[in-house]
Structure 1
């Protein structure tokens, strides 16, 4: 036995499968910052890389399915990943590679952040990739974390009332996701942000925090899903992981840091 083998994989390890955002505010970097803040060891499979800053995205490159597969294999050969999460995946080949490789290895429960539509309603995926996401990745989700607009798209409903949102969550479970959190709108004309949670056993509840008027909101969805995955990796129940993630993300938004000139990151140094 080599030195260190006995304890090599005792520390909780959690993996993000996402693109790299070079300004650190979102994507893989936001995930890794969250893992560190929540005291879980972060591991990554990079699907793409983005050249961007607080003003916007200027260029991007996707990695080949073969290279994505090589990353999965390398991690499986050495680490004991206890939970995983996905972020934005640019196209059908990427989604297919992630879904196939995730099923090939044991990387724990999967949190799927279905990065389809921005919080302002702009579509991010072409229709063919969207359908692949629905058919191949969402059925693997232990937790699915759509924003308001993504939930509308996935459920095929216009969400106007609380009853509409509750119906949408049930439809998302019917797509194969075990647990669903439908994130509320962030339009600026509300006092609170309310998220609806539907668990695998049928239990459901609303989570509410004060709305924070700020442009320091890059990476909020990444952070929420990453925190859920980190808490699951540490042994928390899905319900408690979701509750912790909601509180952590809210505090990270409410306690601003001055980084970047326009749309800045949230504050992962915040403590619960």
Structure 2
């Protein structure tokens, strides 16, 4: 019998450090779906288990800092990621653990989505963890991706216009020396985002009429990490990720009784329909 010959298939490995969403629309589950859909190899270090669905979060159980460190070390020791996406981390001890591990492993292409409030409105970050997030983790980031409410919490500003978005981004860039993408999904007029770093770049987008937005922030930041893992610039990765997210929203998936999940596999369905 002839042996099967393996092709030299290579996928860019990406690590997600985030919480688990039992309903599958956000967190680790959304990240891994996004990474697979964008031709990357997804890995995970789980910060917390959550009991949640499209209507809200009913419970959070953090892992211990020691076990989180074991997860991160196990990944880097064997399959070193080309990018790292960090999502929900509710506890300051866990934030410290992540920061120390990423520094020890000289992690590259770190995307931090500072998840503070869920789409449903549930608070996901403990009050005493905010200062730890800003002091320990955000300065390590290649890119920070706050939405407007999160940017307001981080800056103390009120953001009501595109000029305000730029000013908030500049404030965060000057403070952390990490590039900042202020996401405009909470704006009234459109869904345009602004990248602030050594230059200011706007990514204009039209609002998609879809009430199901559970996990959109997780999805966007993970897709950006995929672009960085493949060697694209930050701006290229954002453009690539926004196109993917727009497709996932436009697909029209409708599940659950609250703000439902988006269709992470919309490209697969399009490919099947084209056969």
Please give the TM-score of this superposition, normalised by the length of structure 2.
Answer: 0.89
Q: 1:215-242: per-residue Cα shift (whole Å, max 9, x none)?
A: 2110000001000001111111111001
- Give the structure 1 partner of residue 84 of structure 2: 84
Look up the SS of the partner of 1:160 in the other structure.
coil
The 8 Å contact of residues 109 and 141 in structure 2, kept in 1 or not, is answered as yes
Task: Name stretches of at least 5 consecutive residues in structure 1 with no aligned partner.
Answer: none
- The count of residues paired between Structure 1 and Structure 2 equals 262
Give the whole-Å Cα distance in 2 for the aligned partners of 1:236 and 1:197.
Answer: 15
The 5-angstrom pairing of residues 223-262 of structure 1 reads 223-262=219-258
Q: Which moved more, 1:158-167 or 1:72-81?
A: 158-167
Is 1:149 aligned to residue 149 of structure 2?
Answer: yes
Q: CA deviation at 1:247?
A: 1.5
Relative to 1, partners in 2 of residues 1:75 and 1:227: Cα closer, same or farther, differing over 3 Å? same
The 8 Å contact of residues 118 and 149 in structure 1, kept in 2 or not, is answered as no
The RMSD of aligned alpha carbons is: 2.0
Look up the SS of the partner of 2:128 in the other structure.
helix
Q: CA deviation at 1:106?
A: 3.4
Give the whole-Å Cα distance in 1 for the aligned partners of 2:126 and 2:76.
Answer: 31
Q: 1:195 aligns with which of 193, 196, 199?
A: 193
The 8 Å contact of residues 119 and 214 in structure 2, kept in 1 or not, is answered as no
- Give the structure 2 partner of residue 165 of structure 1: 165
Q: Which runs of 4+ in 1 moved over 6 A?
A: none
The 8 Å contact of residues 56 and 122 in structure 2, kept in 1 or not, is answered as no
Give the whole-Å Cα distance in 2 for the aligned partners of 1:252 and 1:22.
Answer: 20
Look up the SS of the partner of 1:77 in the other structure.
helix
- Give the structure 2 partner of residue 204 of structure 1: 200
Look up the SS of the partner of 1:175 in the other structure.
helix
Q: Which moved more, 1:67-76 or 1:168-177?
A: 168-177
Relative to 1, partners in 2 of residues 1:262 and 1:118: Cα closer, same or farther, differing over 3 Å? closer
The 5-angstrom pairing of residues 50-69 of structure 1 reads 50-69=50-69
Look up the SS of the partner of 1:15 in the other structure.
strand
Q: 1:95-127: per-residue Cα shift (whole Å, max 9, x none)?
A: 111111111113321000011234577653233
Q: Which moved more, 1:251-260 or 1:216-225?
A: 251-260
Give the whole-Å Cα distance in 2 for the aligned partners of 1:263 and 1:159.
Answer: 24
Q: Which moved more, 1:160-169 or 1:42-51?
A: 160-169
Look up the SS of the partner of 1:13 in the other structure.
strand
Q: CA deviation at 1:167?
A: 1.2
Give the whole-Å Cα distance in 1 for the aligned partners of 2:55 and 2:191.
Answer: 25
Relative to 1, partners in 2 of residues 1:206 and 1:99: Cα closer, same or farther, differing over 3 Å? same
Please give the TM-score of this superposition, normalised by the length of structure 1.
Answer: 0.90
Relative to 1, partners in 2 of residues 1:122 and 1:155: Cα closer, same or farther, differing over 3 Å? farther
Q: Which moved more, 1:75-84 or 1:157-166?
A: 157-166
Q: CA deviation at 1:11?
A: 2.8
Give the whole-Å Cα distance in 2 for the aligned partners of 1:154 and 1:121.
Answer: 17
Look up the SS of the partner of 1:193 in the other structure.
coil
The 5-angstrom pairing of residues 1-272 of structure 1 reads 10-118=10-118, 123-186=123-186, 189-190=188-189, 192-199=190-197, 202-271=198-267
Q: 1:152-184: per-residue Cα shift (whole Å, max 9, x none)?
A: 121221112322211111111122242111011
Give the whole-Å Cα distance in 2 for the aligned partners of 1:185 and 1:139.
Answer: 24
